[in-house]
Chain A
Amino acid sequence: MKTELLIIGAGAAGIAAATAAWDAGCRDIVLADRRERPGGILPQCLHEGFGHAQYGRELTGPEYAQQIAQKLNQTGVRLVLGTEVLAVYGNKSAVLSDRSGLTQLHFERLILASGCREKSIGSLPVVGTRPAGIFTAGQAQEMINLHGQDLGKEILILGSGDLGFIMARQFAQSGKHVIALVEKEAHYGGMARNYHRCVEPYKIPILYHTTVAEIHGSGRITGVTLRHLDGGGEEEIPCDTLITALGLLPERDLVRGLGEPEWLFFAGNCHRVHDLVDSAVSEAERIGRAAAE
């Protein structure tokens, strides 16, 4: 199979890049995603706060996804969902896998819009056991908002980025006890806007200069040892759930080792991590147009 432009990842950036490339005259575009629906992580972001720059009002994640999907639907972009891209080769081809089989797809240009993955607790030198009840913030968001799961009652959040803030609010709103956000730096990592919306109103403490030194519990997590890095010693805090919001890493594994060929473009969070979806979208639109030329 052949296509002029392959875009991997049908999240906000991939959709925006595809729509912009179509509008710029490219008439042969394949947009692939492993999920069963377009929008990437937007559908799990039930909170408001998206689209101020693009739409002049605040949308929820699903509303935002709907807006951009509508634009996409007016194009002739071929959207292939439930499809895993297994490999990308230097001869400008990719292997796609779905339930009907493998497809070798030859392309002229490729936009990688594969977003990021979350840093996991495994990458930190945290001591102790490895029990159940530890989730990344994005994973928790997906499990709660898309699968209706109840993760726990006594929640500790490691990290104070935006995703940590959003999840702190969500847990607080659903009647869970958010014990604290734990931050090793002297200042929170997320945007001030999110701090004022998500943390302040719920009086959730942020413990600065503090980190999780040890995890306790043999089956399910029962608590952690917090270490106060400014010389304040250690304390044990019971909890039944630990949420890690340790930051995002651009997901570029598919093109690792391919160098920087002129046919390869990056859009959205796999290019660089954006604070706002609007900025990921406007960047992706620019890249979509460039790739269409």
Chain B
Amino acid sequence: MQSFDVVVIGGGLLGCFAARNLSRWDLHIALIEAREDVCTGISRANTAIVYPGYDHRPGTLKAKMTVRANGSFDSLCRELDVPFCRCGSLMVSYGEQADAVLRKKYENGLSMGVSELRLLRGEEAVKMEPCLAPGVTSALYAPTAGTVNPWELGIAACENAVANGIALCLNTRVFAISHTTDSYRIETNRDVFSARAVINCAGLYADRVQELVFPTSVHIVPDGADYLVLDKAAANLPTHIIQYEPEDGGKGFNAVPTVEGSLLLGPSERDNETDFAVSEKGISFVYGRAGRILPGLDLNEVIRSFAAVRPNPRREDGSSIGSFVIENPAPGFWSLIGIKTPGLTCANELGSYVAERAAEQLAAERNESFDPCRKGIKKVRGIPLERRNAAIQADPNFGEVICCCEDVTKAEVLDAIRRGATTLDGVKRRTGTGMGRCQGSRCQQKLITLLAQELGISEEEVTKDGKGSEILGGGRDEN
């Protein structure tokens, strides 16, 4: 049995930020995650937008948090040493109905204090973004919108939390929780944890985790969405986030210039496909929309398609819930259930919100030695050549390029493994290996060798993303 003041269940973006903000207090904290790494579920696949906040009903927690979170995103990313690009967004319409929607969002945004928001005429938008299909009737320009890599942000928050003293327990799956007057007992496949407070950030399973000990009136009905990634070297890439507001009121569509330089297209419309498998209907929707809104894109430059899963919160009667659901069914137990868009934008705000409540409940003192800053993996791609040369002089591994598409060196890969990457995907999420146009076909063997060497395992034991995904020997799934 391990005893903690607070146990955070779930190492996605929200769990990592809950843990980080809890570590601002003088508390003994554990973050437990079922998988082999953090940020492997909802956080590993989403639209990567930091929203300006004009979308939500004024006065709601979601609206307030989004505007506030957006305003502090630069300083958050500076603290965590994560690339953030405030590239601005253009929400475009092609007709009167959608014009009216944009006007409403504009007024909504003004009333909430979204700064620098402007309603543009179609010609102005096309001047800013010549790759847009002709016929734009109006555009809502939000210069404060930006993009960030979701898992990079989550991993950074987790590293910061660990540096501030929390215990990270991976491969730890919760199967039972019980409640006595002043503590919780959490049974897992590895150990039993006792805690004075529990923060449930179990993502797609958050409703079920709460139901292990308390009832909930909110249930998660997941839905999937599909995305395409266009190579960074493709022509006619937009420089702003493009959001398309359809005239028929149907599903919108985004083209997001990522911090890595590639273009993310999506999400799709889908019917009840709930897993991380790309759907046929969804992917053809994305191809269709992308071709229509940004006709200059060469969709032969697509390098990857992937699926995301979003946790939609629903009431007992099946109706959907628009606001963030933060349940507090008993003293010392908080659940973040069905946090979807703008969960990435608000991850630190939500983490801070639950951390403060837990700290108050436990009458915790401030952690005087809390350091909000984390140093990221030193990356050499794109830095001035003198600095890159100096890096090699200090560590020759910076001279050896492992992933030639994304220009990732051996030093970065080794650093990622030392920081906790144990799989190919773990290295990919921390360094960008395999994310380029060859999709890892040229660096995978080198990475297998480095992972095996550094982890002290055989190459046959190296996996893509955890047990059962071995790269060699036809997989080693014990059936």
Report whether chain A binds chain B. Answer: yes
* A residues lining the B interface (CB < 8 Å): 34, 82, 84, 86, 95, 97-102, 104, 117-118, 120-123, 125-133, 135-136, 138-139, 142-143, 147, 149-154, 213-214, 218-221, 240-241, 253, 256
Whole-angstrom distance between the Cβ of A121 and the nearest chain B Cβ: 8
Give a binary string over B380-408; 1 marks a CB under 8 Å from any A CB, 0 the rest.
00000100110011001101110010010
CB closest residue in chain B, given A155? B474
| Contact A99 B392, beta carbon cutoff 8 Å | yes
B284 contacts A122, CB within 8 Å? no
Chain B nearest Cβ from A120, distance in angstroms = 4
Check if B475 sits within 8 Å of A219, measured CB to CB.
yes
Whole-angstrom CA separation of A123 from B469 in the bound complex? 22
Bound Cα distance from A128 to B392, whole angstroms? 41
Give A154 to B477 CA distance when docked, in angstroms.
14
The reply to whether A125 and B284 contact each other, CB–CB distance below 8 Å, is yes
| Cβ–Cβ contact A127 & B463, under 8 A | no
Q: Which 3 residue pairs across A and B have the least CB separation, nearest first?
A: A220-B475, A219-B468, A152-B474
Known: A139-B445, A241-B474. A253 touches B278 (CB 8 A): no
**Inter-chain contact B441/A99, CB cutoff 8 Å:** no
Chain B window 97-121, contacts with chain A (Cβ cutoff 8 Å), 1 for yes, 0 for no: 0000000000000000000000000
Question: For residue A151, which residue of chain B has the nearest CB?
Answer: B472
Q: Which of B283, B389, B473, B477 contacts A219 (CB 8 A)?
A: B477
User: Contacts A100-B392, A143-B445; is A84 near B305 (CB within 8 Å)?
Assistant: no
Pair A82/B400 contact, Cβ less than 8 Å: yes
Chain B residues lying within 8 Å of A97, measured Cβ to Cβ, are 388, 392, 399-401
The answer to whether A133 and B276 have CB atoms under 8 Å apart is no
Q: In the complex, A84 Cα to B389 Cα: how many Å? A: 13
Report the separation of the CA atoms of residues A288 and B178 in the bound assembly, to the nearest whole angstrom: 76
User: How far, in angstroms, from A84 to B403 measured CA to CA in the complex?
Assistant: 11
B-side residues, CB < 8 A to A, are 229, 233, 275-280, 283-284, 287, 300, 302-306, 385, 388-389, 392-393, 396-397, 399-401, 404, 407, 424, 437-439, 441-442, 444-445, 449, 459, 463-475, 477
CA distance A219 to B470 in the complex (A): 8
Looking at B437, B466, B475, B477, the one whose CB has the most chain A CB atoms below 10 A away is: B475
Q: Which residues of B contact A213 (CB under 8 A)?
A: 280
In the bound complex, what is the Cα–Cα distance between A290 and B245 (angstroms)? 56
13 contacts between A and B (CB under 8 A): A97-B388, A98-B399, A117-B438, A118-B438, A120-B439, A122-B305, A123-B300, A126-B305, A127-B280, A130-B278, A220-B475, A240-B475, A256-B233
Q: Give the complex CA separation of A132 and B459 in angstroms.
A: 14
**Extra contacts besides A117-B438, A151-B472 (11): CB < 8 Å:** A97-B399, A100-B399, A102-B385, A118-B438, A120-B437, A121-B439, A132-B471, A135-B441, A135-B444, A147-B449, A240-B474
Contacts of B283 in A (CB 8 A): 125, 127
Contact of B441 among A34, A118, A152, A219 (CB under 8 A): A118
| Complex contact A153–B474 (CB within 8 A) | yes
Q: Is the CB of A95 within 8 A of B385?
A: yes
Q: Which residues in B have their C-beta under 8 angstroms from that of A100? A: 392, 396, 399
> How many angstroms from the CA of A34 to the CA of B403 in the assembled complex?
11
Which residues on A sit within 8 Å (CB–CB) of B229?
A: 122
Contact B475 A122 (CB under 8 A): no
Partner of B396, one of A99, A147, A152: A99
Given contacts A99-B400, A104-B385, A132-B463, are A220 and B469 in contact (CB under 8 A)? yes
A120 and B233 within 8 A (CB): no
Q: In the complex, which residues of chain B have a beta carbon less than 8 angstroms from the beta carbon of A122?
A: 229, 302-305, 439
Contacts of B393 in A (CB 8 A): 101
Residues in chain B near residue A214, CB distance under 8 A = 277, 280
Set A98, A99, A117, A129: member contacting B276, Cβ < 8 A: A129
The answer on a CB contact under 8 Å between A133 and B474 is yes
| Highest count of chain A CB atoms <10 Å: which of B277, B283, B400 | B277
Question: Measured between alpha carbons, how far is A147 from B445 in the docked complex, in Å?
Answer: 8
Tell me the smallest distance from the CB of B360 to a CB of chain A, in Å: 41
Question: A219 and B439: CB pair below 8 A?
Answer: no
Of the candidates B303, B306, B388, B471, which one forms a contact with A133 in the assembled complex, judged by CB atoms under 8 Å apart? B471
Determine the chain A residues whose CB is within 8 A of the CB of B304 once the complex forms.
122
A98 and B400 contact, CB distance less than 8 A: yes
Given A118-B438, A120-B439, A219-B467, answer yes or no on A102-B388 (Cβ-Cβ < 8 Å): yes
| Contact A101 B399, beta carbon cutoff 8 Å | yes
Are A152 and B445 within 8 A (Cβ)? no
Task: State the CA gap A100–B393 with chains docked (Å).
Answer: 7
